[in-house]
Amino acid sequence: MGTISARVPDELEAELDAYLEDENLDRSTAVRKFLSEGLEEWRREQALDQLSAGKVTFSRAAELAGMSVWDFAQLARERDVTWVDADHVDDDLEAL
């Protein structure tokens, strides 16, 4: 396992300390949790952006997001992302 060290503003550290107390977590666990959640959200946004730009098929975007196609469809609907593209419909249907 690698090690990451970062300097943060005092306000952010105070907020983290409050979170640690509320959630009864140690600092390392909390930082790993936030990093994991942030990267998960980033992967989803990247997948939605690529889908919206027509760079990937719907099924590939779901894969990039680390989600099932059904969960990704719900996310795309929530974010109002249009994903039906005539060029990719056959590929998407085949993947399902």
pLDDT, residue 23, reads 92
22 is written with which tokens? Answer: 């509320």
Which mean pLDDT values do the consecutive 10-residue runs of the chain (96 residues) have?
Answer: 89 92 92 94 97 91 96 94 67 67
Identify residue 92 by its one-letter amino acid code. D
Locus of tokens 């952010």:
12
Distance between CA atoms of residues 71 and 84, nearest Å: 16
pLDDT, residue 72, reads 96
Locus of tokens 């590939």:
60
Contacts of 36 (CB under 8 A, 6+ apart): none
Phi and psi at residue 74, to the nearest 5°: -65, -45
pLDDT, residue 55, reads 92
pLDDT, residue 61, reads 96
The reported pTM is 0.75
pLDDT, residue 1, reads 85
Distance between CA atoms of residues 73 and 65, nearest Å: 11
